[in-house]
A and B are shown apart, each in its own frame.
Chain A
Amino acid sequence: MDAFNNLMYGFGIALEPINIAYVFAGVFAGTIIGMLPGLGPISALALMIPITFAMEPSSGLILMAGVYYGAIFGGSTSSILLNAPGVAGTVATSFDGYPMAKKGLAGKALAIAAYSSFVGGTVSVIFLMLVAPLLSKVAVSFGPSEYFALMVLGLTAVVSLSDKSLIKGLIAAVVGVIISIVGIDMQTGTERFTFGSVQLLDGIDFLVVALGIFALAEVFYMLLRGGGGKEAPRNAIGSLKLTRSEVKEIAGPVGRSSVLGFFTGVLPGAGATIGSFLGYSMEKRIAKDGDTFGQGNIKGVAAPEAANNAACTGSFVPLLTLGVPGSGTTAVLLGALLVMGVNPGPMMLTERPDVFWGVVASMYIGNIFLLVLNLPLIPLIAKILDLPKPLLLSLILIFCMIGVYGMSFSVFDLLLLLGFGLVGLGMRLFGFPAAPLILALILGNIMEESLRRALQISGGDWMTFIDKPISLGLLVVALLSLGLPLLKKRRKKIPPDVAV
């Protein structure tokens, strides 16, 4: 009953006219940004942060949650229409969505994507409502050692699940922490790595890094690949209607993938990409017509879409209950929350129930907006894809600039943005994953604080991380998570007959 009352309280906040407007604006803007190839939820959220500065935290987070959902849905749109997934989480959607579009069934594929996202999102919000309070009750007992171990696990999980080199992922994470500790040490007041620059005393703002590494680097990367742009031809969208038998056909895959997606999202590092691939492969395996997957099977669109939206909601669980993001996207959300003066964690449910339950309720509303308003608008929104690429690239640059300058009013930060843009380009060209860097940047300070507090309490004894069963368990899982990709690599090298 408690959960129901709390949810009603959340609806009271989310249904305030101004917050409804924010959900709609967020979903709409997210859809547009997510649709642009290359710009995923991280860029979308980073671009929106300056807008949330002046807002009430609950309104700000409601807007951001809408942007997140919208960006994932927008990514599906470009996956289906152009075979160019805006985000990694919608790659699996393109396997069957694009063949459907080529057959003139783009409207149907988009409708399936929207309905499945709606169900995936809604089912997972119910799970979030039930799981989050339980988890935060457990997390209240966490001390600094447990938090430090949890953050190490969050980082290693993100590193180990990036498809690039493990070493490069770890280097990106270490560099992220190195950037995070620039400035005055809050515990001792000592300056660290400021090179005498007054501008660096407050540290390097995560927005500068996030916009540089993701949005600006993406612009540079697109310039390298041909700024003039050779646009892919687009087919007509066609009807958005589904028949009763089609609805019946996708009901099972959507239900199963929603649950699977949610629990994948809760795991640190897993998120929408893995959730959608798991959903897709599970359905392909159990479907009677599994061999038609990849040729425009509607279940091949429904499963990954339900799973990726459910995973997005699932990824809010560690963020809101533990204060530890499990992905690059939720790391940016955490950064935005900290800027708004909200500290997510186990106490958030009691200290800021308005934010927590407001966000949960806004997720329901966001899902409805995605379905009722965004879907009919898709043919119109899809025209954004017709925007000439040169103009699009310049406009993204302007958004980055205003995002950074509007927050810090510092020309120095604009130059830093340029620097991080070039670093981001280098990372892309040399195969360094960006998500561990951004996650480490957000977690770096909190990690150091937890480490120092734990050692302070134990009188400098490092065994404190091993003596406590929870922190020991988390550290062991962190180590194992790093071991897994190495094991996978070794198995690949061994010839199949030996491996058996």
Chain B
Amino acid sequence: MTRLNTNQWLALVFAVLAVGYIAMAWQIPTFPLPRPVDSDLFPKVLGFSLLILSVFLFFEKPTPIAGADEVDEEAQHGPLLLTPWARVIVTSLAIAAYALLLVPLGFVLASTLLCVGLTAYYGYRRHGVNLATSLGVVLALYLTMTKVMDVYLPTGLLPF
């Protein structure tokens, strides 16, 4: 059996998504008053367009993507937690944790922790500079948003 290329894999994913989308578009309730165009028309057109485009993509020859080969080779052979993909995963988890802890910890604390933690994780070793810059920027942002622009940001554990 011949192996599928990247475009063909992507085309299959889009085709499945398009079919799911079309199925959902068919379940959009009809408006009680008769109209020439209802809420479901546009999604149906979009679903079929995506399906047709995924067929075209299936037959399109994959071309090399500029910059795709620029993955940090050196880091790939380093410790598992510092490989390029591990960096993306750890950063994603840190963002998710930040989103969940933002309200209980407060903006200043959560943002400083995220900034200092990730900077250190990315390999910056001057921890004093890291803490001072992160805290300075976060505080400046916090004060600008809350005092100048009257935007509420959660205070959390801190009293201000």
Report A25 CB to chain B, min CB distance, Å: 11
Report A416 CB to chain B, min CB distance, Å: 10
Given A165-B60, A192-B43, residue A393 in contact with residue B122 (CB < 8 A): yes
A178 CA to B70 CA in the complex, in Å? 32
Report A171 CB to chain B, min CB distance, Å: 5
B35 on interface, CB distance cutoff 8 Å: yes
A109 CA to B133 CA in the complex, in Å? 32
| Chain B residue contacts of A5, Cβ below 8 A | none
Convert A404-428 into 0s and 1s, putting 1 for each residue whose CB lies closer than 8 angstroms to a CB of B. Answer: 0110010100110110011001001
Partner of B99, one of A220, A409, A418: A418
186-219 of chain A: CB within 8 A of chain B: 187-188, 190, 192-193, 219
B156 on interface, CB distance cutoff 8 Å: no
| Chain B residue contacts of A193, Cβ below 8 A | 21, 24, 43
| Chain A residue contacts of B157, Cβ below 8 A | none
- Assess whether B122 is in contact with A228, with CB atoms less than 8 Å apart: yes
Given A224-B84, A398-B115, A452-B37, residue A54 in contact with residue B150 (CB < 8 A): yes
A483 CA to B1 CA in the complex, in Å? 35
Given A181-B43, A394-B134, A406-B145, residue A225 in contact with residue B71 (CB < 8 A): yes
124-143 of chain B: CB within 8 A of chain A: 124, 126, 129-130, 133-134, 137-138, 141
A448 CA to B39 CA in the complex, in Å? 10
| Chain A residue contacts of B92, Cβ below 8 A | 418, 421-422
A372 on interface, CB distance cutoff 8 Å: no
A165 CA to B54 CA in the complex, in Å? 13
Interface of chain A, main secondary structure: helix
A187 CA to B42 CA in the complex, in Å? 13
B152 on interface, CB distance cutoff 8 Å: yes
- Assess whether B145 is in contact with A178, with CB atoms less than 8 Å apart: no
Report B76 CB to chain A, min CB distance, Å: 10
B10 on interface, CB distance cutoff 8 Å: yes
- Assess whether B137 is in contact with A395, with CB atoms less than 8 Å apart: yes
Chain A interface size, under 10 / 10 to 19 / 20 to 34 / 35 or more: 35 or more
Closest Cβ neighbor of B75 among chain A residues: A226
- Assess whether B42 is in contact with A181, with CB atoms less than 8 Å apart: yes
Report A89 CB to chain B, min CB distance, Å: 17
Chain B interface size, under 10 / 10 to 19 / 20 to 34 / 35 or more: 35 or more
A255 on interface, CB distance cutoff 8 Å: no
A456 CA to B123 CA in the complex, in Å? 60
- Assess whether A414 is in contact with B122, with CB atoms less than 8 Å apart: no
A177 CA to B42 CA in the complex, in Å? 10
A402 on interface, CB distance cutoff 8 Å: yes
| Chain A residue contacts of B151, Cβ below 8 A | 50, 53-54, 406
B100 on interface, CB distance cutoff 8 Å: yes
Given A178-B50, A415-B96, A448-B42, residue A190 in contact with residue B36 (CB < 8 A): no
| Chain B residue contacts of A422, Cβ below 8 A | 92
| Chain A residue contacts of B60, Cβ below 8 A | 165, 167
A376 on interface, CB distance cutoff 8 Å: no
Partner of A390, one of B35, B114, B124, B153: B124
| Chain A residue contacts of B6, Cβ below 8 A | 430
Closest Cβ neighbor of A447 among chain B residues: B42
B81 on interface, CB distance cutoff 8 Å: no
| Chain A residue contacts of B31, Cβ below 8 A | 188, 190
A110 CA to B115 CA in the complex, in Å? 33
- Assess whether B102 is in contact with A431, with CB atoms less than 8 Å apart: no
Report A413 CB to chain B, min CB distance, Å: 9
- Assess whether A414 is in contact with B99, with CB atoms less than 8 Å apart: yes
> Can you list 15 A-B pairs with a CB-CB distance of less than 8 A?
A50-B151, A54-B150, A190-B29, A192-B39, A224-B88, A388-B126, A393-B119, A394-B119, A394-B134, A397-B115, A406-B153, A414-B95, A429-B68, A430-B10, A456-B35
Q: Give 18 A-B pairs besides A223-B91, A422-B92 with Cβ atoms closer than 8 angstroms.
A: A165-B63, A171-B53, A171-B54, A175-B50, A192-B39, A223-B84, A226-B74, A390-B119, A391-B133, A395-B134, A398-B115, A398-B141, A399-B141, A402-B111, A402-B153, A406-B153, A452-B41, A459-B36
